Amino acid sequence: MSAATVSAPAAAPVREGRIGLRANLRHIGALARRNMLQIKADPESMFDAVIMPIIFILLFTYVFGGSMAGKGHEQEYLNYLVPGLMAMQGMNIAMAVGTGVNDDFKKGVMDRFRTMPISRSSVLVAKIVVEVGRMLVATAILLGMGFALGLSVTTTPLHLLAAVALSMVFGASLMWVFILLGLSLKTPQAVQGMAMIILMPLQFGSSIFAPTAKMPGWLEGFTKYNPLSNLADASRHLMRGGPVAHSVWMTLAWAVAITVVTAPLAVSKFRSKT
């Protein structure tokens, strides 16, 4: 048999090998730039970060505010609500990461990445970097809208920045959960459906929208250990005053635990899937 009749073997994925920290950071920067250029080419992908904070704050303040704080006292509920919405914002943005990762596989983008001599984790970390940026935009719009409606921060600007930073840290940890879902499920619709099953109990079974003291005993017990309750309470106390140590440390502990468990699983799944 001649050499010309022998079919060429399929291109094999490039072995990752040992990649230094500087090279890894360079890869993350290049991939993050690629993701930002995608957003620039498709500005509609920013609608959830730009429009949803405005809808949420108007809807919950003027639909629930009168019932929660009494008619004419919606501003009091606004001061309670906005720190909670900061906690919820991270989960909504994190859900988009999972569907985006799943969609990239459908489009064959990951087939190109696996032929490159780059760290597999850099592809996922770059996505998280860009999504944290989207989360910052959403939080800035949420706070801007809150201040326009009468939100007041009774602590210092540094406390407000600490509340924002805490929301970013926890939101970034949740992104690993949804990346893992995006790598494990077959379609973006399946990822979105599973995400809603996770999101709904965590969001509404928390102190985001209402104090937990009047909830049934079994539900109050759930909210006590719900990480979103800890994050909402921490942000609320940082912005309005109150004891912050316990809720801040609990939020950070949850963020570390979620990242330690899900990040290696997501990277391992990414390697085996690609």
Structure confidence by residue, pLDDT tens digits, 31-65: 888 888 878 887 777 888 889 899 989 988 888 77
Q: Nearest-CA neighbor of 254 among 227, 228, 232?
A: 227
* Residues whose CB is less than 8 angstroms from the CB of residue 148 and which lie 6 or more positions away in sequence, other chains included: none
What mean pLDDT do residues 193-200 have?
A: 88
Alpha-carbon 126 to chain mean position: 14
Sign of CA dihedral 152, 156, 158, 163: negative
Per-residue pLDDT at 17: 53
Listed in sequence order, the DSSP H helices in the chain are 21-41, 47-50, 52-69, 74-107, 109-113, 120-149, 157-184, 188-204, 217-225, 227-240, 245-273
Q: What is the chain's mean pLDDT, rounded?
A: 83
Q: Nearest-CA neighbor of 143 among 130, 129, 157?
A: 157
DSSP letter, residue 5: G
Q: Phi/psi class of residue 72: alpha, beta or left (left: φ > 0; alpha: ψ in -120 to 50)?
A: left
Is the pLDDT at 271 greater than 90, yes or no?
Answer: no
Q: Is residue 154 very low, low, confident or very high in pLDDT (cuts 50, 70, 90)? A: very high
93: tokens are 């943005």
Decide if 175 contacts 91 (C-beta within 8 A).
no
What mean pLDDT do residues 229-242 have?
A: 92
Distances in whole angstroms, Cα of residue 218 to Cα of each of 130, 204, 274: 38, 14, 43
Decide if 84 contacts 209 (C-beta within 8 A).
yes
Decide if 113 contacts 119 (C-beta within 8 A).
no
Per-residue pLDDT at 99: 85
199: tokens are 């999101």
Half-sphere exposure of 264 (CA within 13 A, CB side): 4
Per-residue pLDDT at 132: 92
Distances in whole angstroms, Cα of residue 134 to Cα of each of 75, 106, 142: 27, 23, 12
Per-residue pLDDT at 209: 87
Which helix (H) or strand (E) covers residue 153, if one does?
none
Is the pLDDT at 2 greater than 60, yes or no?
Answer: no
Higher pLDDT, 263 or 270: 263
Per-residue pLDDT at 48: 81
233: tokens are 């309470």
Q: Is residue 106 very low, low, confident or very high in pLDDT (cuts 50, 70, 90)? A: confident
What's the predicted TM-score (pTM) here?
Answer: 0.84
